[in-house]
Structure 1
């Protein structure tokens, strides 16, 4: 237990220092601070990866079956994506800072939860590969949707500033509105098929278990509704009739549905019995 507490503290402290250096770079274009922030973030990723590896060795399954494990894995995925974007994309420093700030907040709250919380479903075996694929695909889609939501928030902020002719030095760190909208679209186009696959596998699991009544479960229906809202966003984009401002608004609305789906409908689900204490 002491070893686990130590690694929790180490991850949080390194993550916090990384955010501080990243903020320093945002505020004053300090390249040294950015390198330090990225290096610390890479160290956070190593600690998280090590923790996941130890968890796998201890429990003999991929650690995503409890709320604690799923959120930890989600934060690990956010850090992984953040590091990749840092090396391959430019002028997205603010997005990466906000992404890691969200990851840090989720991780900090998660460390106050009970690591031994009840698994997602008692009747689902820990060695069931279908369950793990279903959960990891869903987590990956949520990561993509979070990135898209942050980009939409940046779009709305920049649009308002430009419309009011209120240029600031912070906006020098933003890509153009067209690029932000393009990045948002790509993130959504990654998230949608991942969520579709996750829902399909979840339904397949229900059918294989002979529990077809659960197809009308609140979790399944809310996931399908989330997909419908994102499909509406895509239809609006493909039609070319909506402005980038409205597309950003609809994307944020869609992500709100995803958050409600993840947090609220688990309470009313017949098989997603996550308990987060």
Structure 2
């Protein structure tokens, strides 16, 4: 049987090594380091994919139904997205920041015990509706994280430019207009994904016939998250707010998403996550 310990260690060590090479590229524009970092990151993604396939074969369901599995899958999505951005958009600094976030999530997750009771004992875990609901939510969180990182980059560069304090690292940034445009596109991707996930969750409640769950903190906070990002889009499209204000609002919206995911799962009867 495949040992979980060695594959966890391999993923973490190779991921960390990839970050070191990526940082070298960001700091010194070392193309050789970039190629090495990208190759190691691709290998990390393959190991993560192998682990996911192993969990599918072992448990006979898509492994996104416990907190450990969901965070692992989230990290897998971030690695995949960062590889695509690296190949198609050439945003080296953003790719590095996405991978730092992905590594932190993965490392914290691996400090826990993955041998937990699946949600299937409380929910119909093999129900396709539940699976799609969870995966859509995870995909939306990935989009919102990228948007938040872009907003952080925007505020950093805006402050430097306003204070006329140019630095070498700023040469790795796209223009403010490009950063703001990428942020807007990421949010445009994330909102329909989250809204679809919420709609499927409500459909599951309707099928279960338990209307009390409609007032569950998790459901209400998810709807509030959608509303906050919808307000961001409204400000972006009609109110003509300056870019730095939009960046602040986007970071605030992501804070709501983080609270929704981390805090309300604890008090929710809708999601019975089990932290490892």
Normalising by structure 1, we get a TM-score of: 0.97
Residue 118 of structure 1 and its aligned partner are, at CA, apart by 3.9
Whether contact under 8 Å (2:120, 2:126) holds in the other structure is no
Whether contact under 8 Å (1:120, 1:271) holds in the other structure is no
Q: Which residue of 1 aligns with 2:34?
A: 34
User: Which aligned pairs between 1:2-21 and structure 2 lie closer than 5 A?
Assistant: 3-21=3-21
Q: Which residue of 1 aligns with 2:149?
A: 150
CA offsets per residue over residues 87-112 of structure 1, 9 Å max, x none?
1102x111110100010011001011
Report whether the alignment pairs 1:235 with 2:234.
yes
Partners of 2:120 and 2:251 lie apart in 1 by 30
Residue 3 of structure 1 and its aligned partner are, at CA, apart by 1.6
Partners of 2:229 and 2:17 lie apart in 1 by 35
Q: Which residue of 2 aligns with 1:193?
A: 192
Partners of 2:8 and 2:46 lie apart in 1 by 13
CA offsets per residue over residues 128-151 of structure 1, 9 Å max, x none?
111000000000000000000000
The size of the alignment, in residue pairs, is 276
Partners of 1:36 and 1:27 lie apart in 2 by 15
Report whether the alignment pairs 1:168 with 2:167.
yes
User: Which aligned pairs between 1:188-227 and structure 2 lie closer than 5 A?
Assistant: 188-227=187-226
User: Which aligned pairs between 1:113-124 and structure 2 lie closer than 5 A?
Assistant: 113-120=112-119, 122-124=121-123
Gaps of 5+ in 1: none
Question: Where do 4+ consecutive residues of structure 1 move more than 4 Å?
Answer: none
Residue 240 of structure 1 and its aligned partner are, at CA, apart by 4.0
**CA RMSD, aligned part only?**
1.1
Whether contact under 8 Å (1:66, 1:116) holds in the other structure is no
Partners of 1:118 and 1:166 lie apart in 2 by 53
Residue 127 of structure 1 and its aligned partner are, at CA, apart by 1.4
Partners of 2:41 and 2:143 lie apart in 1 by 19
Q: Which residue of 1 aligns with 2:50?
A: 50
Whether contact under 8 Å (1:121, 1:272) holds in the other structure is no
Gaps of 5+ in 2: none
Partners of 2:119 and 2:227 lie apart in 1 by 25
Residue 121 of structure 1 and its aligned partner are, at CA, apart by 6.2
Whether contact under 8 Å (1:214, 1:270) holds in the other structure is yes
Q: Which residue of 1 aligns with 2:24?
A: 24
Whether contact under 8 Å (2:61, 2:126) holds in the other structure is yes
Distance 1:251 1:120, change over 3 A: farther
3-state SS of paired residue (2:95): helix
Partners of 1:206 and 1:121 lie apart in 2 by 16
Deviates more, 1:238-247 or 1:57-66: 238-247
Partners of 1:14 and 1:171 lie apart in 2 by 28
